[in-house]
Structures are given as C-alpha cells and as structure tokens.
Structure 1
Amino acid sequence: MARPKILVVGAGFAGVECVRRLERRLGSDEADLALVTPFSYQLYLPLLPQVASGILTPQSIAVSLRRSRRYRTRIIPGGAVGVDTKAKVCVVRKVTGEVVNEPYDHIVLAPGSVTRTFDIPGLADNARGMKTLAEAAFIRDHVIAQLDLADASHDEAERASRLQFVVVGGGYAGTETAACLQRLTSNALCRYPRLDPRQIKWHLIDIAPKLMPELGDKLGLSAQKILRDRGIDVSLGVSVAKAGPEEVTLTDGRVLPCRTLIWTAGVTASPLIGTLDAETVRGRLAVTAQMTVPGRSGVFALGDAAAVPDLAKDEDGSVCPPTAQHAMRQGRAVADNVIATLRGRPLKPYVHHDLGLVVDLGGRDAVSKPLGVELRGMPAQAAARGYHWSALRTNVAKTRVLTNWLLNAVAGDDFVRIGFLARTPAAMRDFEYTDAYLTPEQVREHAAAGHLQQE
C-alpha cells in the first residue's frame, strides 16, 4: 500500500514546527511529507522592524528550512491558492506561475495571515505593509531614499512631504516599526547636515483608545511616553480618511504632507481560507480544540488562519490570539494529532497559558511583561531580545542575529540603500499576493480537471 501523504501549507511558526515534529516522530515508512511555501525559509516575523531599520540584515531572520538534520520533507516552491476538501486536492501556484494539483490524505493548513486593510481611498496604492521580508527591505530603502532626496532638494514643500512619516497601527508591529525607524532617521541627521531636524516628523496613529492594550495601562502608557519623548506624535482614536502619493488625510481633519505611509493596522486570515467554503469565526477558520475542521476529513488548521479555542481562559468563545508563541505550540500539537490519527489513537486538545509579551523599542528602550511581571528599560530590553534570540530555530540564525546586534551597538547604523527593489511595485497586494487566490468554484473545477487528466 502507498504511504499516506501529509501536506503542510505554510512555512510560518505553525507550519515549520509541525513539519519538524512530524520529521522527528514519524518513521520514514509511515508517511510522505510535503510542505507548500514560496520560499525555503521560515521568516522570524517579530524582528521585521529591526530589518526595516537596518539593525539586522534580512538573511539573519530568514531561517533555512534545509538545515535540519532530519530534513526529508519535499518542499513545493509556490503558494496554495485553493483547497478542495472533498477531492482532497490542494491547488498550488508554483513560483514559475504553473498551477498544479497536490493530492493529500491529511492536510495541515497554516497559511498565516495578510495585512488587514479597509476601503479607504488611495490606501491600496499608497500604503506599504510590514508583513514580508521584501516589504521590510523596501521600506528601509524607501525611508533612506526620502532622506537622500530631501537633502538634495531646494523645494521646501517637497522636503516637508519627504520628511514626514506616518505609521498606522498601535499594536506591536506598528509601535516597534515607528520606534525603530524613528531611531534610524534620528541617528541619520549627523550624516545629513543640510536637513533641519525639526522637519523630520514621525506619526503613529491608531483608531483604538489605547496603545498596545494587551500590555495593560501602565506599560502601554510607558511605551507611549517613550515614543513622545523621542518626538513621535502619537494620535489615538484617529485613522486614515484618504491616502495620496504626497499627503495623508486623517479622520480628525488633519492633512499631513507625507510620502511614506506604513500600514500595520492588524491582520486577517489568509485568503486561502475563503476557498474552502467552510465556517469561519471573524474571518478565521472554525476548528475544534483538537484543531480539526468539523465535517472535513483529514483537515487540520492552526495559527493565524484558524480560530483555535483558548481553553486556558474561562471565557466562552475565546480564541487564541495570532501570536508566535501560540503558533509554535499549536504546530507541535497538530503534529501529534496527525500522528495520533495515523496510528488510531485519540486526539488531544490544545491548551497553553500565555507566557507574556515583549516590545523592543530600539536602543535601550523596551517594555515587557514576561509571566505577568512588568519591566521597563534595560531589563525589559534584555527580556525582549533574550526571548527572540532563544526562539530562533537554528544556531546559525542565533549567531547572525547576535552578531548584528553587537555590531550595531558598537558601530551604529549604515544609511545605505540597496536599490534592488527600486522598480518593484510597492502596493501590499504585490508583496503579499492577495489577488492570487481562486474562488471555491474555480478550485473544484481545477481539481476535477486534474482528476480527469490522471484517468
């Protein structure tokens, strides 16, 4: 008999942890493993703001999938654009553009999330995201380009628009992005003597009434004070009404001359979830506590794309937040449940108590809440960087990140544009490929056509 095929979709925290667990605990004769991902690396997302600000190099947080000693998973270089759970087929668009069918016996859906946007005039064309390595590299090039162009310009209006930067989103991604990039532009002033420091302005805005409410009032206010002391204008209860190439209009009526709008206002489940035509909970795929999809044989889902019940909380209907620590643990739990399914054993529910949160604001500034203990300043920075460093999967990645941190602390920043993305379309849909997915009807048609070809 042919070995059962386990197909994992997504190489984020959840997908990679699942694959590694399956490689360790399944015998090579028990199942064939395959992983669908456009890139053969796991991106350590929490450190993206440090790539954008140049503290870390892009390669240091792109952790190779092929370094595992037990590596035996077939990597399919592409993105899943649809799943037919009845035919047990995943439709994959390879990086070459070729669309193929990948049959499976068990599928683990961990496609992650994409940047959540709204129907705001001009947003899709003029905002930049912070969800991929390419976006982080592009934003760094773009910000330094604004400094270069403003320094060379004699037009005060042009200078004003190039030296104002707007970050939307008061969560961890937005706060860390604004903090790290503001520090970059502040440190750059000594290299740009023609620029007036008063013209460089950073704005952090969010529609919510509080900054990072998950941290609690005290730490949230501490982070807000750190940002404002640096000169960052923090505006809460405000969002973007209209975005143009040279200005941003806010909902409170202000019009800011600005050529850099960074959008980090939350995430939503990957559009792949919509191709299953299954029940969702606030956009995330509804799953059981064992992370199975009800009524869909052999289908598991986890991470940002799934509404996994949070059994560690007493609240009814509570689901796990889309954080790295939950995704990693869910990946291991799903792997165990897939193995249990193959071996005819009972599945176990996922339970995990949150270990706390860490926020790196660059330099010596940070706020953290590990295990409920509130920290500020250097102790918080040590906790934040210690957590991120320990969470990196390989010793090579740990060495690269630690070396980058030490080099930046000793030598400071380099204000160099790489330029390889200068002519790349910069809209979020171009980096996150949100328009690449099929409809449920197209998925069924493609799966049926592939089945006929095999016959």
Structure 2
Amino acid sequence: MYTALRLQRGLRRELRRGEAEITVVTPDPYMTYQPFLPEAAAGSISPRHVVVPLRRVLPDCRVIVGEVRSVRHAERLATVTTLAAEDGAPTERLPYDELVLAPGSVARTLPVPGLADHGIGFKTVEEAIGLRNHVLEQLDIASSTRDPALRDAALTFVFVGGGYAGVEALGELEDMARHATRYYHNVGPEDLKWILVEASGRILPEVGEDLGRYTVTELRRRNVQVLLETRLESCADRVAVLSDGQRFPTRTVVWTAGVKPHPLLAATDLPRTGRGRLKCTPELAIEGHAHAWAAGDAAAVPDVTAAPETTAVTATAAPGSPGASRPECAPNAQHALRQAKVLGDNIVHSLRGEPLETYAHKYVGSVASLGLHKGVAHVYGHKVKGYPAWVMHRAYHLSRVPTVNRKARVLAEWILAGLFKREVVSLGSLEHPRAEFELAAGGKPPYDPKGST
C-alpha cells in the first residue's frame, strides 16, 4: 500500500496523466496495521480502525481483490485468481512492465500433532477478533459448567512464541480476561492460567536482554507461567504437551512462533536466498532482473548501515556487488514502511532514467506493550519500563498508522476507553452468521456448537 501510495503521488507530480497505470493485487481490500492487533483483540480499538481501505487511499490505482498464483517475470506476466473465480481456476492473466513483490510473510508452523485442528494464529484482524471472542467464550463455558475438567481446560490459555506477537497478545488478553472476571459470580482472576512457551532462552529479543528479563519478571508477577527453552510437542485431544514433560488440558493454543516468507515467492522465476526471501540490491531491485522490485518481509535487502560482522545472517549478493556480505535488514515494519517509500521513488527514477536511491536506515529501537499501562521500550540506547514505555508505544504507533482519519479514530477510542469501563462482549456468532437462519429454515447449522472452538 505504501509503495502504491508513493507511486500515486510521484506519478501525479512527474508523469503525464495516462502515462502510467498502477495495479494493486491483494487478497483483502484493506491493509492491516498489525501492531494494533493485540489492542483490537483486547477491545481497546475497534477492528475497523485497525485496517485501511485501499480504494479510499489509492483512488488513482486499480485495485484487484484476488490472489497471485504465479509470476513469470521473463514473460512479464502474473496469473491471478479473483473473487469471481470458480473452483479456484485462474481468471485473469495480468501483463506488466514493472513488478513490485511485497506479499509479506505467513505464520511459520511446525508439524505439531493437533496444531492444525486446535491452534489459533495471530496475524490478521479476523484472527485477533476471533481470539477475543474465543477467550470470552471460554469464561462463559467455565462459568456454566459443573465439569471441573472442562472448567480447567477452558480457563487455561497457552501461547507459543515469545516474540512481539505472542507477548503483546498475551499481555493484552490477560488484562482483558482479568477485568472480565468481575462480571462472573464463580470465576475469579486466580482461576485463570496463562502459559507462555518459548523455545529459546529469552523473550522479546528485539528490546534487549535486560528488558527481556524484566518482561519475564513482570509476566510472572501477574501469575503468567513463562517457560523458556521449552517447545510444544503436541496439542492433540486438547492437551498441550511440552518438551519438559508438562501436560496442560486446554481449549486455547495460540501459535505466534515466528513467520516465513509468503509461499507466492516459490511460484516465481526470481532468485531467492536460502531462507526463501527475494535477493535484492540496496536500491530494492531484485538481483539480476530488470524492472522487478521488492520490499518488506519478502525481501532480503542488504543493510548498508551495519557492519558485516554484526550478524550471522548475510545477504547472498554476488561477490563484488554493493550488497555483498552485508547483513540483511530485519523483516519488521520499521524497515518495510521506509523501504516502500524509497521503492516508490526509485521506480519513478527508473522510468525517468535518473539515478536510484540506496535504502539506508539505522534501526533506532523497539517498543512493546505488556497490557494496559505496562510496557518496555529500547529507543536510541535508552531503556524504559512500565507506564512511560506504554505511552511511548502508543505514541509511536499512533504516529505510524496510515491516514489522518485512522489516527483520529484510534485516538478518540483511547480517550473513551480511559473514561469508561472496558467492553467485555463476545460476538462469537459473527463467525457463523447464517447458523441460526439455516437452522430455522430446516437445514443443519454449519458447525457443531459442542465441538466448536
């Protein structure tokens, strides 16, 4: 979206009307601002304010809602499946002159028994709202059942992965659930069991070792079990089995154990690194292929601000090229948003035959929320904890969320949330809106309420 927005502005200024057309192919007609997903799951922000409608912010672009199935850059051709397709058959072949590949990443899963059946992801706004409804539904189940085993499983929440997504989601949802228990006569905060499973020896590596240890202490103070150097071996039959031998009957397993490049990259004829990302130059062009560009999580962009020895992950640039032996930019939003702007400008420079810009941005730090009024931040070498870090987290992301419209709406919701009590309503029926009508019409509901997650 940011690349298209930059191109849209650049073409308005520098190209004649009708000289170029920008086509955006996307599975969803909106961009999700993922750092706000934990707050959306906790009810601090409305879901519709976490997303940015593409047709509104890209009025000069052609937006196609669909999925790219393959890209043959040698032929300048992309195959796209749109919403009008039947049985997944490709319906459109898009020729192009310039290609920008920015599909991002998808959840990196492992062959854990039961994960596909019972696991819950946390990368989309739909998953965030579904998880919120699910957690509140578990409180309803625990409050209404007389089966102690079912009650214990309903009140046990297992999060796998100690990065940003896992820690922030757990922190926000733990806050929400603890607040919600005041409305249940037979469920108290002490009945809730929250478990964070991390395979490495630390959590939140982005904020540094000291703040990572502080985060562990803070979570444990809130009765969250933080299990380091531990893996999820199985979650079949609604029992989380860990590598240290512990077993937790649970109805909630949230998987946030990392990401991997989008599978689309494997369906192209463009070069990739050993980790599956596109090989790029510091100018964000794909190595060895003219008129092909990439940015974001899918792109291995050499970090020209870092010394080669600062990281073991190196870009596989050709010997003697500007990016040879350089470490790669981290696959995070801080780099992706800035890369998009340089990429948009470079495409215009390329069309005009002008020199290209080199992407250079030194990582300035990280901020993370641990729930309402709690957070950690490591910015410009300074370590901040607690309430000040939480304020910095909100201020930073409010400044980065796209469009003035979204900034104003998010700020208004934060102000209202400070004046009134938190909403704890579950709208789980939104996931199956036709169930009641189908049952009334004599059909079968599309899901089994007793077996639903």
Q: Report the residue type matching 2:72 in the other structure.
A: D
How far did residue 353 of structure 1 move? 0.8
After superposition, the C-alpha distances for 1:132-155 in whole angstroms (9 at most, x for unaligned) are: 111111111111111111111000
1:35-434 to 2 correspondences below 5 Å: 35-68=24-57, 71-97=59-85, 99=90, 100-281=92-273, 282-315=275-308, 316-418=325-427, 419-422=429-432
The answer (yes or no) to whether the contact 1:85–1:297 under 8 Å persists in 2 is no
1: CA distance between counterparts of 2:185 and 2:131?
A: 23
- Judge conservation of contact 2:182–2:188 (CA < 8 Å) in 1: no
| Alpha-carbon offset, residue 218 of structure 1 | 1.4
Runs of 4+ in structure 1 deviating by more than 3 angstroms, as ranges, are 422-425
* CA distance in structure 2 between the aligned counterparts of 1:306 and 1:212, rounded to whole angstroms: 23
Deviations 1:339-381 (A, max 9, x none): 1211112222211111211101121101011222211122111
Contact 2:208-2:378 at 8 Å conserved across structures: no
User: 1:97 & 1:23 partners in 2: Cα distance?
Assistant: 29
With a CA cutoff of 8 Å and minimum separation of 6, indicate the structure with the bigger relative contact order: 1
SS where residue 363 of structure 2 aligns?
coil
2:23 to 34, 44, 49: 34
Shift of 1:296: 2.5
Q: Report if aligned partners of 2:69, 2:79 keep a CA contact under 8 Å in 1.
A: yes
Which whole-Å CA distance do the structure 2 matches of 1:230 and 1:391 have between them? 30
- Residue segments in structure 2 that go unaligned for 5+ positions in a row: 309-324, 436-445, 448-453
Deviation at 1:277, TM superposition (A): 4.0
Secondary structure at the counterpart of residue 85 of structure 2: coil
Q: TM-score, normalized by length of structure 1?
A: 0.87
Which residue does 2:10 correspond to in 1?
25
Q: Deviations over 1:49-73 (max 9, x none)?
A: 11111111101111122333x7200
SS of residue in 1 equivalent to 2:23: strand
1:365-401: CA deviations, max 9, x gaps? 0101122221112211111100010111112111211
- Per-residue CA deviations over 1:385-434 (Å, capped at 9, x if unaligned) read 00010111112111211122122222222221222114789xxxxxxxxx
The Cα offsets for residues 6-50 of structure 1, whole Å up to 9 and x where unpaired, read as xxxxxxxxxx11111111111333311110112222210011011
Q: Which amino acid aligns with 2:118?
A: N
- Alpha-carbon shift at residue 79 of structure 1 (Å): 1.8
Contact 2:304 2:326 in 1 (8 A): no
Give the corresponding residue for 1:449: none
TM-score normalised according to structure 2 size: 0.87
Residues 392 and 196 of structure 1: is their aligned pair in 2 closer, same or farther, counting only changes over 3 Å? closer
Q: Which amino acid aligns with 2:83?
A: V
Q: Write out per-residue CA displacement over residues 56-107 of structure 1, whole angstroms, 9 at most, x where no aligned residue.
A: 1101111122333x72000001121211111111111112335211111001
CA distance in 1, matches of 2:188, 2:167: 25
Q: Is the Cα–Cα contact under 8 Å of residues 122 and 255 in structure 2 kept in the other structure?
A: yes
Q: Provide the secondary structure at the position in 2 that maps to 1:108.
A: strand
Between the aligned partners of 1:116 and 1:78, the Cα distance in structure 2 is 23
Q: Distance in 2 between matches of 1:215 and 1:163?
A: 30
Q: Which residue of 2 aligns with 1:434?
A: none
- On the 8 A contact 1:245/1:259 being kept in 2, the answer is no
Mapped to 1, the partners of 2:167 and 2:288 lie a distance apart of: 40
3-state SS, counterpart of residue 430 of structure 2: coil
- Match of residue 430 from structure 1: none
Contact 2:113/2:233 (CA < 8 Å) preserved in 1? yes
CA distance in 2, matches of 1:352, 1:30: 32
Larger deviation, residues 190-199 vs 374-383: 190-199
Deviation at 1:289, TM superposition (A): 1.4
Q: Is the 8 A contact 1:79 1:94 kept in 2?
A: yes
Q: Deviations over 1:143-182 (max 9, x none)?
A: 1111111111000000000100001111111100010011
Which piece of structure 1 moves more, 390-399 or 154-163? 390-399
One-letter identity of the residue aligned with 1:54: G
In structure 2, C-alpha distance between the alignment counterparts of 1:245 and 1:404, rounded to whole Å: 40
Give RMSD over aligned pairs.
1.6
Q: Distance in 2 between matches of 1:345 and 1:219?
A: 45
Question: Distance in 2 between the 1:371 and 1:90 partners?
Answer: 42
SS in 1 for 2:431: coil
State the one-letter code of the partner of 1:230.
R
Stretches of structure 1 that go unaligned for 5 or more consecutive residues are 1-15, 426-455
Task: Tell me the SS of whatever aligns to 2:94.
Answer: strand
Helix, strand or coil: the match of 1:289? coil
**Change in 2 beyond 3 A, CA 1:97/1:255:** farther
What is the CA distance between 1:290 and its match in structure 2?
1.4
Size of the alignment, in residue pairs?
409
Shift of 1:331: 0.4
Following superposition, the deviation at residue 199 of structure 1 comes to 2.5
* CA-CA distance at 1:273 after TM superposition: 0.6
Query: What is the rounded CA distance, in whole Å, between the counterparts of 1:63 and 1:196 in structure 2?
Result: 38
